[in-house]
Amino acid sequence: MKVLKRNGSEVVFDITKIIAAITKANDAVDEDARMTPLQIKRIAEAVELSCIRMSRAPEVEEIQDLVESQIMAHGAYEVAKKYITYRYTRALVRRSNTTDERILSLIECCNEEAKQENANKNPTVNSVQRDYMAGEVSRDITNRILLPEDIVKAHEEGIIHFHDTDYYAQHMHNCDLVNLEDMLQNGTVISGTMIERPHSFSTACNIATQIIAQVASNQYGGQSISLTHLAPFVQVSREKIRKSLTAEMDDAGINLTKEQFDGIVEKRLREEINRGVQTIQYQVVTLLTTNGQAPFVTVFMYLGEAKNEQEKKDLAIIIEETLLQRYEGVKNEDGVFVTPAFPKLIYVLEEQNIHEDSPYYYLTKLAAKCTARRMVPDYISEKKMLELKVDKNGEGHCYTCMGCRSFLTPYVDENGNPKYYGRFNQGVVTINLVDVALSSGGNLEKFWSIFDERLELCHRALLCRHERLKGTTSDAAPILWQHGALARLKKGEVIDKLLYGGYSTISLGYAGLYECVKQMTGKSHTDPSATPFALQVMQHMNDACKKWKEMHNIDFSLYGTPLESTTYKFAKCLQKRFGVVPGINDKGYITNSYHIHVSEEVDAFTKLAFESQFQKLSPGGAISYVEVPDMQNNLEAVLQVMKFIYDNIMYAELNTKSDYCQECGWDGEIEIAEVDGKLIWKCPKCQNTDQSKMNVARRTCGYIGTQYWNQGRTQEIKERVLHL
């Protein structure tokens, strides 16, 4: 069994250290108040047993809490007092310098928390370490100086989660929809260099990757671009190729028929599109931004955005090439094609591609083939989104999320035109719904009272995030605020006007709806008798957002939080606060947002239909998934799920597996096994457990992770049931 130290490193559990600590406190009291060596040994053994029952690596603080409880249970109150005093004294010493040990453990690569914090960051790489080190300093300043003490305390206790405290000291926002169209058509500036409108498709793709890298380095959340904004440059290249070919034929004295001439033009054009798309795929995968990871970018594929038929046909070519290249994958260090984490792809299901007789159905079949092998693209239903995303003019709109699931709310500018690209999210604070339910003791009246108190805490925390952005000048991130990614502000101009009136959003996140409902009703929220309560909880949070919006003229929006490392943190905090409550907090994770519990037996269609009603009540962001086996030889079933998505739910994905063992070449599923109380990844063929010698890709929070996960998330992955 391992123990997680305060600096994030793991050590083997050593019962003699507990015995030594208790003995030290025991020796400091009068002889008549001391315990016997046998009593001390029994206390240490009881603590060890409690730790084993956690089925995870306990933290030092948790072990010390158990020691305190056991000493007092033996009636040795004087010993307990000495032990508590010693703990308090040591805590004061640590508080005087809260960052050094954690930073040193990061540098030495022994910080297990850091290793598992982000499934797309490799903590052994210098750039990641530098980002984490800066994050530790920022987090320390944030907790000691910038945030109110009660918000910090609630965050530390897992009552709420104040997202991205490691970036809070800087004036940075969360995620956005990059206005790539404006930047390409009207030019931009990158690192002080003027970039004019590109004169070919391949150049446009190259500029797009530079924009992606720059944007990623000036914010901490995801970004999205649309392939539609690249489509006009296909015609630019077509005309350029036609002109060049005409000159070649004239110089050679060759006469071609129109069909021959057009055929050569389109062949060369396809080759350029291939190179351009390859630039985006490989640049995104190989780029390292200032935070040490590939840009968290989503690529949107929506035929309905095209301005005319020719642009739509050209867009279809780009989409086809993007899917073909993603289906192939990228080569790992052994030269084997594997599944990359980014860019995330979203394919819009629409009337033009959803039916067998639709003109672009061939793209949908290709998308299904790609999903079965590489887990992307994910799917947005134009039909359902037009129903749910209706602006004040009564018009529905279909558009991409920012990153993995954060959606902007409908917005109409001062000229009455809908606007999405160039908008952003200010930040997120998440409420732990499981904690609300457990704190109420199952009493409904108390539940709603505590719920309102916690929502008000989130409200104040979100205003802190908003106030941190107020007064930020455009000079802080010129690529965002001055050169078109989000705005065209003047130098020195503040961004404040973009924070109000719905131009940007700010998100109230939520987690653990399933466990919350089960604690209050005794049933899963899928039970017809419990579902109304679940919907009532969702509506209550929406009502709070509406009230705050009217109060501040800021677009508060409810967001289904994509817990990654926080799912483990919340679970540990719940066990610490309430003990282990069977069926509620007895695992190393809590359920993401409104999702059906990962272990609940349900078929894909029932799951999607049930969760669709919660997507409607999660306007700031939501995504649903179905867990499927290898579907490469059953594409018809994939297509059936996709058609069901089109008719029933706004945004969904299919999760499969895509693994490779570098030791033996196994390309089936890498399994999760338990060794010495810890979950590890293990090749079923050669028994390899060296994570550095295997490629594992799993979708965890709406996006694919490839750098492994903490014990809580790993347990959640292990316990997922198949829905097909």
In this predicted structure, what is the pLDDT of residue 102?
A: 61
Work out the burial of residue 297: count CB atoms within 10 Å of its CB; fewer than 13 is exposed, 13-18 middle, 19 or more buried. buried
**Are residues 194 and 166 both part of a single domain?**
no
Question: Does 23 reside within a domain?
Answer: yes
Mean pLDDT is lowest, of 54-68, 137-151, 167-181, 653-667, for 54-68
What Å distances lie between residue 710 and 99, 114, 486, 703, CA to CA? 22, 9, 34, 16
Residue 32 included in any domain: yes
For residue 555, the enclosing domain spans: 147-173+407-473+497-591
Q: What is the pLDDT of residues 36-95, one digit of tens each?
A: 999 999 999 999 998 888 877 788 888 888 998 899 888 888 888 888 887 767 665 555
Average pLDDT over residues 647-673: 93
Per-residue pLDDT of 452-507, as tens digits, reads 999 999 999 999 999 999 999 999 999 999 999 999 999 999 999 999 999 999 99
Query: What's the total number of domains in the chain?
Result: 4
pLDDT, averaged across the chain: 91
pLDDT at 578 (0 to 100)? 95
Residue 637 lies in a domain: no
Residue 682 lies in a domain: no
Q: Indicate whether 333 and 428 sit together in one domain.
A: no
Q: Are residues 307 and 166 in the same domain?
A: no
pLDDT band at 120 (very low <50, low <70, confident <90, very high): low
Residue 657 lies in a domain: no
Does one domain contain both 312 and 194? yes
The neighbour count for residue 496, using CB atoms within 10 Å, is 12
Q: Which three-class secondary structure state does DSSP give residue 209?
A: helix
Which of 311, 342, 373 corresponds to the end of one domain? 342
Residue 91's pLDDT is what?
66
pLDDT band at residue 137 under the 50/70/90 scheme? confident
Per-residue pLDDT for 699 more than 70? yes
Looking at 572, 591, 610, which one is the last position of a domain? 591
The DSSP annotation for 239-278 comes to HHHHHHHHHHHHHHT----HHHHHHHHHHHHHHHHHHHHH
Burial of 237 (0-12, 13-18, 19+ CB in 10 A): buried
Residue 111: predicted pLDDT: 54
Over range 429-439, report the average pLDDT: 98
pLDDT in tens, 352-373: 999 999 999 999 999 999 999 9
* 455 plus 412 within the same structural domain: yes
321 shares a domain with 210: yes
What does pTM read for this prediction?
A: 0.86
Non-local CB neighbours of 96 within 8 Å, separated by 6+ positions: none
Task: Answer yes or no: is 212 within a domain.
Answer: yes
Q: Are residues 526 and 562 in the same domain?
A: yes
Average pLDDT over residues 267-289: 89
322, 458: one domain: no
Residues 419 and 561 in one domain: yes
Q: For residue 144, give both structure tokens.
A: 């000691």
> Which residues carry out catalysis?
174-175, 402, 404, 406, 425, 559, 564, 702
